[in-house]
Amino acid sequence: MLKLPDVLESGDPARLFPVVADTSKEQRAASIFLSVISAVPAFANALLNQVGQRIGPRSSLNTFTEVVLKNRDQADKKDRPDGFIEVATGNRTWTALLEEKVGNNTLEKDQIERYVRLSRDNSLDAVITISNEFAAHPAHHPIQIAKTLTRKVSLYHFSWTAILTEAVLIHERSLVADPEQAFLIREFIRYFSHDSVGVNGFTSMPAEWSEAIERIRAGGRIRKGELDQQIVWGWHQELRDLTLIMSRTIGCNITTKLSKISLSDPEKRISDDIERLCNAGMLEASLQIPDAAADMKVVADLRSRSIRISMSLDAPKDRKTSKARLNWLLRQIKMAEPNGVSISAVWASRAANSVYSLAEIRDQPEKIDNEPVSSNIRAFEVTLTSDSARRFVGRKTFIEDLELLAQSFYERVGQHLSAWKPSPPKPMHSIKDIEKESAQTTPKPTVPQPGNAHSDLLEIPVFLRRASF
C-alpha cells in the first residue's frame, strides 16, 4: 500500500481505472492522467521539466487523487483538490496540488487563491491547474491572482491540449522503449482524444473580435481599455493552440517566440500587444520551429482584414547580381504551389521593398534587374496571404483560416527554405605550389646596407604561409 505523504490527511493513489460515478468526468480525467505520468517517466519528464522538475533515474514520482491536507482553515474544510504530486530525488522532495477542469468548465479565481494559500500553509511548492484554457508558458497562468500569494508557492497551468500533444510527440518519436509504457501512452492518447472526455482546442475568438473589426472598417480605432484586452487574450490562446497543432503536424515542439522580458512578465507581453493592436490595428507573433531557416511570422491585420504568414531570409552574399540572388531563392521553392504566395525583395539601400507574386517572378526573374534601385538585395521575405474579409470577421472562421494557412505555408514553402551560409575560405597558396617552391634552390640571403639603403623586402618563409598539418 502506497504510504500517504505526511501533509495529507487522506487521499487515494491515482488509478488507471478509477471507480467513480459516471458524471465525475473531472475525477476520472485527473486519476488517469496522474496514474499515467507516475508509470511513464518520459511523459512525466516532458511535462514537469517545463516547471523546473526533472525526473531522473533516481527519482520517484507518487500521485494521489481527492486529497485532504492536514493543515487547513475551517473555511477550507470542504476543499478537496483533484490531485497531489510528489517527486522525490535523493533528500529533496517537490510537491504540488493539482486542480483541473474539463469541457467548458473554467478555472475559478477564488478557488485557485484558496489552493495557493492551502499549499503555502502546508509548505508545498506549487499549484498546477489543467483546463481547456491556454497559456503561452506554464508560468503564464490564465487567472491573475495577487503576487503576494505566489512568493512561496509557484502557480502553473497546462491546457489539456498541451498535455495531449506531449503524449502524441512521445508516441510518434518512439521515445518510450518499454512496451507496457508505450501501450499506456497509446491508450492515454486514445482516451483523451475522444469527444466525450471534454478536451477542446481554441475554436473561437472573443465576442469583442467582430465589433473591433467593424469599428476599424468604419474608420474608427480601438481605444485602450475597451475591446483590446479580451482580443489580445484570445489571440494569445489561439497562438498557443496553433503551436500545439503544428507541433503534432510536424512532429517537434514549436513555440511562440518571446523576449526575456515577456517570458518573465506576461503582463508586459499583453501590454505590448495591446499597444500594437490600438496603434497599428495588428496582431502579430513569431513561431520558432526547430532547425527551420527562420522564424515563422504570423500577422492578423484588422485594417485590411487579412492573415499573412511569412519567413525572412538573408540574400546570398556570394551572388553578385540581383537576379542571381533571386534565382537562389526560387530554386528552393521551385515545386511550391504559387497561389497566394508573394516574394518581397528587401534592398540594401532605403528603397522600398519590391513585391512580386511567386507566379509572376518565377516566369520572369529578369524583372528584378529592371528595378530602379542602385543597391543589391539584402534579404527576401516569402509570404502566404489569406484575404477573405468575410471569413476574417467571423470569430470561428478566422481561427479556421489562420490554422489552415499556417500549416499550408510550412508545407508548401517553409520546410523547403534553407538559410544562406558563406562557403568555407579557400587556401591562398596550394600545397603543390608550396612544395614546388620549397624544392627550388634557396636564394642567397641579402646583406642589409647601412642606413636606409636596405629597402628590399625579405621573402616570406614557407612555414609562415600555411598552417601546420
Task: State pLDDT tens for residues 199-252.
Answer: 999 999 999 999 999 888 888 888 887 788 999 999 999 999 999 999 999 999
- What is the percent of the chain where pLDDT is above 70? 91
The string of pLDDT tens digits covering residues 168-201 is 999 999 999 999 999 999 999 999 999 999 999 9
Distances 392 to 117, 244, 275, 396 between C-alpha atoms, Å: 43, 22, 21, 9
pLDDT at 442: 57
The listed range with the strongest mean pLDDT (68-72, 288-292, 421-425) is 288-292
State pTM to two decimals.
0.86
How high is the pLDDT of residue 20? 87
In a shared domain, residues 183 and 255:
no
Mean pLDDT value across residues 23-29? 92
Residue 451 placed within a domain = no
Which of the listed residues 147, 165, 197 is the one where a domain comes to its end?
197
The arithmetic mean of pLDDT across residues 7-27, rounded, is: 91
Q: Which of 143, 177, 197 is the last residue of a domain?
A: 197
Give the end-to-end CA distance of the chain in Å, rounded to a whole number. 67
For residues 249 and 154, membership in a common domain is answered with no
Confirm whether 44 is domain-assigned: yes
CATH number of the domain enclosing 222: 3.30.930
Number of domain units in the chain:
2
Distance, in Å, from the CA atom of 181 to the CA atom of 187, rounded to the nearest integer, reads: 10
3-state secondary structure of 152: coil
Q: pLDDT at position 74, please?
A: 58
Q: Do residue 300 and residue 247 come from a single domain?
A: yes
Q: pLDDT tens, 108-163?
A: 999 999 999 999 999 999 999 999 999 999 999 999 999 899 999 999 999 999 99
Angle between helices 160-172 and 228-250 (to 10 degrees): 20
How high is the mean pLDDT of the chain? 90
If you average pLDDT over residues 324-330, what whole number do you get?
96
Same domain, 325 and 298: yes
Does residue 382 fall inside a structural domain? yes
Buried b (16+ CB within 10 A) or exposed e, 22-37: eeebbbbbbbbbbbbb
Helix (H) or strand (E) holding 357: strand 354-357
Range of 330's domain? 208-416
Whether the CB-CB separation of 296 and 256 falls below 8 Å is answered with no
Three-state SS string over 41-72 comes to HHHHHHHHHHHCCCCCCCEEEEEEEEEEECCC
3-state secondary structure of 12: strand
CA dist., res. 167 & res. 26, Å (int): 19
Q: Are 132 and 204 in contact (CB under 8 A)?
A: no
CA dist list (Å): 404 to 56, 218, 307, 384: 39, 28, 11, 11
**Single residue among 416, 446, 464 that ends a domain in this structure:** 416
313 in Cβ contact with 322 (< 8 Å): no
Same domain, yes or no, for 348 and 324? yes
